[in-house]
Homo-oligomer: A and B are copies of this chain.
Amino acid sequence: MPRTPSTPRPAETRPRDADRSQKDILDAALREFADHGLGGARMDRIAERADVNKRLIYYYFESKESLFLAVLERAYESIRGEERQLSLSQVDPIEAIRRLIAFTWNYYIEHPEFLSLLGTENLHRARHLRRSTKVRSMHSPLVHTLAEVLERGHKAGLFRAGVDPVQLYISIAGLSYFYLGNCHTLSTIFDRDLMGAKARLERLSHMNDLVLGYLVRD
């Protein structure tokens, strides 16, 4: 008779166990999915990484696929949350564009799992995302902010006219995404270190030049 479930642990530590377990599971799953993709991820490893019983994962998250969706949703929530704090509307248009580029770049660098997750979800043709009402409703407020910045820049005679904010947003994201997401492949192919401090600064600089070189008219 080792464990006595009848003796409850102190009140202040217990109540949060459920939330804590769920968070641990999501954290572990994020790493696992990012490391191995959906097909390569192992529920066993997630349980081990989260230090919970495997059965518990099923208790909270129905299945592997649902768990993946939960992970994906949380990842989107997280980036959207940070995006909202950029306050692009409060700075001049050129600075706003710089900030957006830098934010995207840095977020991807600090959250490589996010890139992995995106890639995995795309391999599966957004199958999970499509099921999510959450993510769809959380579509980037950035597009609107970006539209406003472009408009402001044009009115100020700084930016060219007719720029589609969605296209630009995708371009900005793509410039960072391809470089960072494929850096292992690219480094190998070009036989050049792309992730050193200098290389990273050069890339950021190049992206700013590219985007602003396009946008700014004189």
Which A residues form the contact surface with B (CB < 8 A)? 36-41, 116, 118-123, 125-126, 129-130, 135-136, 139-140, 143, 160, 164, 166-168, 170-171, 173-179, 181-192, 202-203, 206-207, 209-211, 213-215
Residues of B within 8 A of A206 (CB): 164, 167-168, 171
- The answer to whether B189 and A140 have CB atoms under 8 Å apart is yes
Q: A139-B190, A187-B126 are in contact. Are A118 and B37 (CB under 8 A)?
A: no
Q: A139-B189, A174-B174 are in contact. Are A37 and B126 (CB under 8 A)?
A: no
**Closest-CB distance, A179 to chain B (whole angstroms):** 5
Q: In the docked arrangement, what's the CA distance between A48 and B187, Å?
A: 36
Q: From the candidates B38, B118, B184, name the one contacting A39 in the complex (CB within 8 A).
A: B38
**Closest-CB distance, A57 to chain B (whole angstroms):** 17
- The answer to whether A185 and B122 have CB atoms under 8 Å apart is yes
Number of copies: 4
**Closest-CB distance, A30 to chain B (whole angstroms):** 14
Best-buried of A41, A202, A213 by chain B (most CB within 10 Å): A213
Beyond the given A39-B40, A126-B185, A135-B189, please list 7 additional residue pairs across the A-B interface where CB-CB is below 8 A. Answer: A121-B184, A129-B185, A167-B202, A170-B186, A171-B207, A178-B178, A213-B213
Residues of B within 8 A of A37 (CB): 37-40, 120, 123
Q: A170-B179, A182-B122 are in contact. Are A190 and B116 (CB under 8 A)?
A: no
Q: A38-B37, A186-B170 are in contact. Are A123 and B119 (CB under 8 A)?
A: yes
Residues of B within 8 A of A39 (CB): 36-41
